[in-house]
Amino acid sequence: MRVALRSAVFALLLGAACSGAKGTAQAAITAADAAMAALPADVAKVIPEQLQPLADAVTAAKDQFGKGDYAAALASAKDIPAKTADLAAAAGAKKTELTAAWNELSLAMPRNLAAVKEKLDQLAKTKKLPKGMDAAQLADLNMSYDAQVGAWADATAAFQSGNLADAMTRTMDIKAKVTAAMGAVGLAADESQWKNQTPAPKN
C-alpha cells in the first residue's frame, strides 16, 4: 500500500507542477482523499483516535483551498498518503493486541461476575452482614452487579460487530467496577483474578 500510494502521489504532483500552486494543492488533496478511501474499513473501529487527525487534516486542506490559501492546503494534505500507509500497518498490530486482550477478558469476566453473584446470593441469605457492610450497601452492590452484566453484554456486542476499541474501552470500565465489587464481597480482587485461573476467596 505504501509504495503504490507514494507512486500515485508523485504522479499527481508531477502532473500538477506546471499548473502552479493551485494545481499542486488540488493534486495533494485528491491524493489525500484517495489514500483515506483506500484505508481498510476496520481502521476506524480499531484506532479511531489516530484516524481522526488525518480526517481533520483533509478537511482543513479543503477549507484552506476554498479560501485560496494553496500553500497551507498543500501543507495540510501532502503527508496524508504516507500517514495512511503507516496507519494501516498500525491498525493491524493494534487489532492483534486488542483481540488477545479480549480473548483473555472474555474468559475472566463471566467467571468473575459469576463469583460476585454467588457471594451476593450468600449475603442475601445471611442474617448478619460482614463488618462494614449494611443493607443499603448490599443493595447497591446488587444494582451494580446487574448494571455490569448489562454493560458486559453491550461490550460483547461491540466486539462481535468489529468495534474493538469501543469494546475494550467498555470492558476496562466494567473490569474496574467488577474488581471493586469482588473486594467488597470478600473475594480476592488483585490482577491475577483476571488471568486464566479460578478466583479464590480471601482468607
Phi and psi for 139 in degrees, rounded to 5?
A: -60, -40
Kindly report the pTM of this predicted structure.
0.75
Q: Which residues contact 109 (CB under 8 A, 6 or more apart)?
A: 152, 171, 174, 175, 178
**DSSP secondary structure, 34-73, as one string:** HHHHTS-TTHHHH-HHHHHHHHHHHHHHHHHHHTT-HHHH
Name 21's Cβ contacts closer than 8 Å, sequence gap at least 6.
Answer: 70, 71, 74
Residues 132-173: tens digit of each pLDDT? 888 899 999 999 999 999 999 999 999 999 999 999 999 999
Percent of the chain clearing pLDDT 70 (strictly above): 87
In this prediction, residue 200 has a pLDDT band, given cuts at 50, 70 and 90, of very low
